[in-house]
Amino acid sequence: AKEFGIVDALSALGLKENNNGSSTGIENFATGNTIESYSPVDGSLIGKVKSTSREDYEKVMEKATNAFKIWRKMPAPQRGEIVRQFGNKLRELKEPLGKLVSFEMGKSYQEGLGEVQEMIDICDFAVGLSRQLHGLTMHSERPGHRMYEQYHSLGVVGIISAFNFPVAVWAWNTALAWVCGDVCIWKPSEKTPLCGIACQNIAAAVFKENNLPEGISCLINGDYQVGEFMTQDKRVPLVSATGSIRMGKIVAQAVAARLGKSLLELGGNNAIIVTPDADIKMTVIGAVFGAVGTAGQRCTSTRRLIIHESIYDTVKDALVSAYQQLRIGNPLDQNNHVGPLIDTHAVTLYKKALQRVVEEGGNLIVEGGVLEGKGYESGCYVKPAIAEANNDYEIVQHETFAPVLYLLKYSGDVENAIEMQNGVVQGLSSAIMTNNLREAEKFLSVAGSDCGIANVNIGTSGAEIGGAFGGEKETGGGRESGSDAWKIYMRRQTNTINYTTELPLAQGIKFDL
C-alpha cells in the first residue's frame, strides 16, 4: 500500500483507522456494529467504520430535517456556489480520492480518477443548473388570471449506492439534490464504507467553511437493514437506489407502500451489436473495455456481443488475441488493465457463471480462472473469460458482475440482432457498431433498442454525465445525472393567480350566491 501512496491518500482524506463514521460524519456518535473494510487489491484491512443503529438514525434524521429548513430558503444559485466549492475541493483531492476508490473497490487507478472526474463534472453541471430550475408559464383560459408552475425543494433524499461506483453515483444524486434545495442521507455500500467517509469529510468541510449545517449531507452505514430505515420512513420523500434488480424490487415496494418516490438504477445486460459494416478495430477496443473495464463490475459493462455470422470468426479471433494481451494485477500499477473483483463472494459467482454456461451448452473460447500466487493473495483476481453461447441460456439472461463476455451469432437483417438484444429483462445500455446508416437508424428507431442508453460506434459503458442515465424494464426506469433528471428531486406546483375583482370559474361553470 505504501508503494502506491495509499497511506498518504488516506491521511489527505482525513481517514483514520477507526472511523466512527455514521451520523453527519464529523460528529461521531454511531453506535452500531463495526464494519471492517478490506482491500480486494491485497487483502489488507484498510479501516473500520461503525454502522448506524436505529437510534443513531433518528439523530441523523433530526439533523437532516433541521438543515433542510435552512437550506431550502437559500436561493438556488447560492446553493450552486456551495456545490462549486465542493467541486473545487474534489479537484484538489482528485488523486487521493481516486486512489482510495481504486484501493477499496479494486478498479484501475485510471478508472478511479475517472470516477472522481465524473463527480467534478456533475458539480459543474449542477452549478449551471442552479440558475435553470425552470418551470413553464401557461395562458389561463380566464381573463385577468396568470398561470405558471414552479419547482420547490422536496426534502430529505435517501441515497443507497453500490460498491462499483462508490463515490460518483452519490455525487450524481447529491449535487443535483443540493442545488434543488434538498438535503441527503447517504448509505454507501458496506463494501466501500471508507469512500463514504472520505466524501462526507469533503462535503462537511465545505459546509463548515460556509457556516452551513452539516446535516445538508448525512451519512449512514450498514447493510440493507440500515437502508430499510429510509425506505420505510415517510420523512424521506425520495429514495434513489443503485444496485441489483433483487434489491430494487424490495426498495421499490417498500417506498411505494407509503406512496413515496423511488429512483431506481438497477442491473443491465448490455449488448453490442456488430454488423457486417462494423469497424473491427473500434469494435474490439469498445468490446474489450466494456467487458473487462472495472473487471466487468459496471452496470453498463458489456455482457453480450451479437455478431453477424459473416464476420463472426474475424471478430472472435481478434477478441481472443486482444484478451491474450490483458495484464491482470494490482489496479494501482498502471501497467495493468484488469484489477480484482470486489470480494471472494464475487469470485464464487464468477466461477459459477463459467460452470453454468458450459452446462447449458456454451463453449469457453477464453477460459478464465482464478489467479493465485504472488500479487494475487487477496484471492479476488480472475481472468476475463469469453464464452460462445445462446441468448436464451439462463446464465446469459442473468447479470453476472464479473468479466464474462458472451458471444452470440445472428444472421440476416439487423432486426434479428435487435430482437436478441432486447430479449432480456434488463434495459440499461446498448450499442451498435456499424457504418451503415440504415442499420444505425433502425437501431435507434422506436422499433430499435429498448434500452435507456443506445449508442452508435461507442461501447456500452462510460456514459458522460450530461445525458440522463438509467434504463427501462427491470433496470428500474429511473434517470439520474444530466438532462432534466433534476426534476425528480423537486416537487412541482401549479399556481393560478387572479388579479381581477371577479371570480370566474374554469370550464365556464356558473356558481352565483
**CA within 13 Å, CB half, 45:** 10
Q: Cα(110)–Cα(112) distance, rounded to whole angstroms? A: 5
Segment holding 265, helix H or strand E: strand 261-265
Cβ–Cβ under 8 Å, residues 47 and 37:
yes
Q: Of 165 and 170, which CB lies nearer to ligand UN1 in the complex structure?
A: 165
CA neighbor of 219 nearest in space, from 74, 39, 18, 49: 49
| 344-345-349 Cα angle (round to 5) | 115
Q: What is the 3-state secondary structure (H, E, C) of 65-112?
A: HHHHHHHCCCCHHHHHHHHHHHHHHHHHCHHHHHHHHHHHHCCCHHHH
The distance of Cα 243 from the centroid of its chain, to the nearest Å, equals: 8
The amino acid that residue 188 corresponds to is P
Whether the Cβ atoms of residue 294 and residue 341 lie closer than 8 Å to each other: no
Cβ 298 to ligand UN1, closest distance in Å? 4
Structure-block grid coordinates of residue 411? 444472421
Least distance to ligand UN1, CB of residue 145, Å: 45
- Closer of 151 and 165 to ligand UN1 (Cβ): 165
Query: Smallest distance from the beta carbon of 248 to ligand UN1, in angstroms?
Result: 12
Cβ distance to ligand UN1 smaller for residue 242 or 400: 242
Nearer to ligand UN1, 105 or 206 (CB): 105
Residue least distant from ligand UN1 (Cβ)? 463
- Residue 242 beta carbon to ligand UN1: minimum distance, rounded to whole angstroms: 6
Q: How many CB atoms lie within 10 A of CB 502?
A: 9
Alpha helices in 180-311 (DSSP H): 193-209, 224-231, 245-257, 280-292
Which CB sits closer to ligand UN1, 250 or 458?
458
Q: Measured from the CB atom, is 426 or 461 closer to ligand UN1?
A: 461
Q: Which of 104, 111, 118, 265 is catalytic?
A: 265
CB of 449 to ligand UN1, least distance (A): 16
Provide the binding-site residues for ligand UN1, judged by CB under 6 A: 118, 164-165, 169, 242, 298-300, 461-463
Active site residue 265: yes
Shortest distance in whole angstroms from residue 484 CB to ligand UN1: 18
Residue closest to 308 by CA, chosen among 446, 436, 461, 463: 436
Active site residues: 265
